[in-house]
Structures are given as structure tokens and as C-alpha cells.
Structure 1
Amino acid sequence: MSDSENSGSESDSSDEENNDDFMLFRDEQEIGRQRILAMFEDDDDEINFDAYCYRFEIYVAKNSVFEGENIGLTTAVVLNLTKGIENMGHILYTDNFYTSPILAYNLKSRGIGIVGTVRKNRKGYPKQLADVKDRDLRRGECKWMMSDGMLALVWKDNRLVHLLSTVHQPDIDVVSRRNKQGVLEDVRCPQLIKDYNSNMGGVDRNDQMCHYSKSAKQYRWYMRLVLKGLLWCIFNAYVIEGHVIDHKPGRGRARDFQQFIDELVHSLVGDNRAIRKKRKRPSVDVEIPDRLLDIGTHFPTTEDVDSTNHTCVVCTKKHHVYSNANGGVSRKDNPCKLTKTIFKCSGCATYLCVKKGSTCFRDFHTKVEYWR
């Protein structure tokens, strides 16, 4: 801008005004978290800061919406997120990551105010204010410059603070601060600083309220996005409810966000309860004999005092089946021989063959028709 602008300084003893050049901001080269928080307004025209998430944008490393305007990515992000609220009297509060003269100029042309801390090395920020040293000002003193309704200001508290606003004049108020001895004292403070401190912090509060307990490493990126979006929706509903129901009544416990979530879950679930299905043994056509169950209790055993005149049950069954099937073949010609054994099953008390090449014990406990 080539017009002459007003600049000034403020101290405890005197106020001064002089003319100087305040060049407009032209550049942005940084990028960050692409989300913006909106504010609601009560009926009594007092600002009610709720950390309501108005709109968010996923960071994709390149924003082509404002390509060709040479405004920088962070400025483009803010302008994109503020679409739809132009010329409605909204004021945007930003930190020094986003605030710049070029952003202030673009928002002002869209009818949106901006208040925020600014880095003194931003292009277009007044060099006269950027060069101010800590030793140049005492606590409570400030210097400022204005250009076309934009106020640039540096104020010293414990350290220098640089701010930019398109909705303020260099009005001075008083705040309480503790000195080195710990005693409260009044310190002169621009109204711009007080408004910024009163309205800033929504991003931090929203992050705190919409934080999911598990580590981000436990979720894939798309699940983190879904969960975060769901939490934003729930928190926005909680904020809207606060304009119908007083969350902080004069008496009784305040209605917090966790209580809202609990009631929301119960209202969605209702009387529905999950039915736990009982696992049943699959049915079979043939009833399974008891001897095929709990095979772990069946072991071949012998007794010290026992007769040796015992025939294997399996061999006997095979012998009779073959004999009946072949017209009463003689024992000598029957290939299924009757085998003597001293071993019996500890669970079934049945005598069975336990010798090399014999499968009688296994067949008896694993086959329904063990003679086959």
C-alpha cells in the first residue's frame, strides 16, 4: 500500500503519533493443522466460546483450490475453511502459525475480522515494530502502527508480543500482573491483548475433549480419521445442547461431556441386548457310543493275577463276521484268527490286542464298526 498510515507508541508517561509507512503483507510459506473452530453468540450479544468444530480439512501436502494467487498454503487453508461465513461479522482468532498481513488483507476483503499473534519476520510486517528490542520497552508499554484499518502492535509483558488485528483500535486497558516480589499490580494492556486471551484456546480445548484414549499407533490412519470425526460430531452435539440446556446450573453437578456420551450411547442402544449363542455339539445321524468319548481315559492295562484265556474282542468279532458271511467256514480256513491277549482297556474293561502289527485297540476306540 502506498497511502500514508498512522503509527504510534504508548507508555506510562505519554502518547505519541507519527506518520510512517506500513507495507502490506505478501507472503506465506508454512503449513499446519488444517482445522478451524467457530464461536457461537448468545442472545445478550456476549461471545460464548464453545470450541465448536465448524469445518476441517485433511492435510494432503498440496492445496490447489487457490493455486495461482500466490498467497501461500497456510493462507489458502484458512480462506478455504472460512468459506460460507463471509460478510457475517465473524472474527477469527489465530496463532502466529497462521497470522500474516496477507491473510488479514484477504479476510478483511471477505468481511471477516482477524485477531492473532504474528511472527515479526512475516513479510510485510512493519520493520519499525519488528526491530523493537526487549530493552526498548518497559512492562506495560507498547508500540503500534495502523494501515487501512489493520493494527499491528508490539506489547511487552514478561517478553515482547507481536499482534495483528483488523477489528481493533489501539485502546489501552489495565490488567493485573504479579511483580518479581509476587505482589499484584496494575499493568497497562491494549484491549487487543485482552480480547485475544479471552477468545483464544478453542483448538486446545477441542483436542482435549475429543481425544481418544488408545495410542495413535494402535489404529490405521483411516480408523483414526473415522474416530476423530465421530468424536467431533458428538462434541458438536454437546455444544449445541448447551444452548438449550444449561450445562452449568447454579446448583448441582455440571453436565460434562462424558455424561453426554453415556446418555447418547444408552439412547442409541435402547432396550436392545446382544443374545449370546450357546455352542452345541454338532448333531450326527449315528449316535456316538460312550466308548468313543473321553478317549484320554482309555489305556491298555494288565493285571498281576488274571487268566491268560482271554480272546481279543475285535479279533473275535471279525472272525464271526467273516464266518457268517462265508457260509460257516471252518476256523482253520477263516483268515481272521482268534487271538489270545492279556491286555484290556482300563476304561472299557475289554480285552484287546496290543502287539506289533495289530490295530485292534485303536480300531475299537475310533471306529463305530470296529470290525471293518
Structure 2
Amino acid sequence: MTFSVVLITNLIVGRYHHAEGALASRVVKKCLQGAGIQGQGYHVYMDNFYTSPDLLSSLFNEKTYACGTVRSNRRGLPRDIMQKMPDGIVQRGDMAFRQNDPLVAVVWKDKKCVTALSTIHDETATEVQRIIKQEDGTFARENVPCPKLIADYTSHMGGVDKADQYLQYYSFNHKTRKWTVKVFFRLLEIMKLNAYQLFLQSPHHLPGQGKQQLSFLQFTQSIIKGLVGGFTSGARKGRPSLLLLADRLTQRHLPGTLPSRSWCHVCYMRCKS
């Protein structure tokens, strides 16, 4: 039984930076309580905004087991391995474990060091496939040692990570000083992604034989056209000129080099027609 905590609370972390740990703990416990699964032996997977030794120990005492990536600067972590370049972690696949009662901390070298914390797992290792560059310049898949802790986290948080990845595509977010505006547009992005997923699952929109499924980009473009299609016009604004155009602008056209990159009237009218 697993449960993934997925919220947008990290959008407003700057506003509550002084109470980040307490905020994250309250969010997780409120989600479990709201879902009615608190204290029932569920496995909870969360990202590094929420994971902390205090939270995982508290959940363990309430018979809820948790796992997640963790920020290396959290209080209560083993400092000998929870750092950017821990000793002995050099090559891809290197790992180190530390355990304190139910808490298991691990650092694993992939492209970069990954740190995680769990009350579900032990020091068991498994293998994962990675595309690695060979000496001759080609790329090939190889099996790389990996803690089962991180392999399970990747498996159960895969949907969340994929959603975060999709939300970065074709995003219209802009910098703003108002955090409420950022939350609003983030919610719009999530609504667009949810609508796309429902669209793919709808039996009325399945692609026919020989047709490809609508991509996320095409879906986004269709939303844009639907929103602005009835509010745009290709008609030229302003009063029409009462003066007749010179013959050189409508008939004979001599090319020449001009400092401006603007189109001449003849070229514009030809392309427009």
C-alpha cells in the first residue's frame, strides 16, 4: 500500500521559509488524515521538500512508513555522507548507508549524488539500467548498482516526476513579485496537464488507424486557438488611403538594396495573395 504526497506547497516556500519544516510536516499529516489512511501501515513516498528525520520518525511511531529523497542540509542527518562530495562516492553506482533505529539514510552516485531517507527499506541493493558513453564514443545500456530504496522511490514517484516534467514544457509563467499570481498560473498549468491526461483516456478521442495520438504541444496549441480564435481578425485597421498608388508600387518592380529590412509594398501584396 503506497501513497504519494504531491502538492504545490513549495511554490510559496519563500513566504514561509522560517517554518519550512513545520509546514511540510503539517502538509503530509493533513494529507494522510484527509485520505483516511493515517496509522494503517501505508507506505508514503514524498519528495525532498517534505522529507526530514523528524517527520519520518513521527510517522513511524504512528505506524505509517515513509521514504523520500532528502535535502542534505536537513538537521539530524549523518554529515559524513550527506554532502555534495562524500568520501568514497566517486564512480557511478557507488553508495553508502547509515542507520539510526528505523531511519535508513543513503547516498548514491548516479550522474550526481542522490540522497534519500526511509523507514521502509534496509541496505538491500539492486540494479538499474543506464545509458553510458563507451570509450569508442558510442552509447550503450549497462546495469548499474542501485539501492532498492531509491529504485522503489523512482517507481512510486515516477508519475509525479513525469507531471513535473510536463509542466515545464510550453509553460507561460513569468517572473512576478506577487506569489499569488505565481500560484494562480501554476494551477492553470496543472489544469492543462490534467485535461490532457483525461483527453488521452477518453474513448471519444482515441486516434484512428494510421493516426498518431495528439501530442502535448498540439493539445496546448488547440487550447490557445480555442481561447483567442474568436477575438482576433486578419483585417487591416485604419481608414483606407484615398490617394492612388504609384505605378512602381503596383506594376513594375525593380529590386534594390535598402538599409531597412521591411518588405516593399509589391512583395508584401504578392505574398499576401
Q: Taking structure 2 as the reference length, what is the TM-score of the superposition?
A: 0.55
User: Is the contact between residue 107 and residue 116 of structure 2 (CA under 8 Å) also seen in structure 1?
Assistant: yes
3-state DSSP of counterpart to 2:88? helix
Map of 2:145 onto structure 1: 188
Choose from 88, 111, 114 the match for 1:161.
114
Q: For the structure 1 residues 238 and 107, does the alpha-carbon distance in structure 2 shift closer, same or farther, using more than 3 Å as the test?
A: farther
**Alpha-carbon offset, residue 159 of structure 1:** 5.4
Choose 237-246 or 189-198, whichever is displaced more: 237-246
Larger Rg computed on CA atoms: 1
Supply the RMSD in Å over aligned alpha carbons. 4.7
Corresponding residue of 1:143: 96
Match of 2:188 in 1: 230
SS in 2 for 1:134: coil
TM-score, structure 1 as length reference: 0.43
Matches within 5 A, 1:208-357: 208-209=168-169, 211-212=171-172, 215-216=174-175, 224-245=182-203, 252-261=211-220
The CA deviation at 1:100 is 1.5
Q: Is the 8 Å Cα contact of residues 108 and 115 (structure 2) preserved in structure 1?
A: yes
Map Cα deviations across residues 175-224 of structure 1 (whole Å, 9 max, x no partner).
345377367554322222333445353463253147216x435x976555
Query: Is 1:61 the counterpart of 2:21 in the alignment?
Result: no
Aligned to 2:51: 99
Secondary structure (helix, strand or coil) at the match of 1:216 reads coil
Q: Secondary structure at the match of 1:161?
A: strand
Residues 220/127 of structure 1: CA separation in 2 closer, same or farther (3 Å cut): closer
Specify whether residues 176 and 264 from structure 1 end up closer, same or farther in structure 2 by C-alpha distance, changes over 3 A only.
closer
In structure 2, what is the equivalent of residue 207 of structure 1? 167
**Aligned in 2, Cα 1:155/1:232: closer, same or farther, shift over 3 Å?**
closer
- In the TM superposition, residue 94 of structure 1 has moved relative to its aligned partner by 0.8
Maintained 8 Å contact 1:107/1:114: no
Measure how far apart 1:237 and its partner are.
2.6
Q: Which runs of 5+ in 1 are unaligned?
A: 1-37, 40-52, 277-372
Name the one with the larger helix percent. Answer: 2
- What percent identity do the matched residue pairs reach? 25
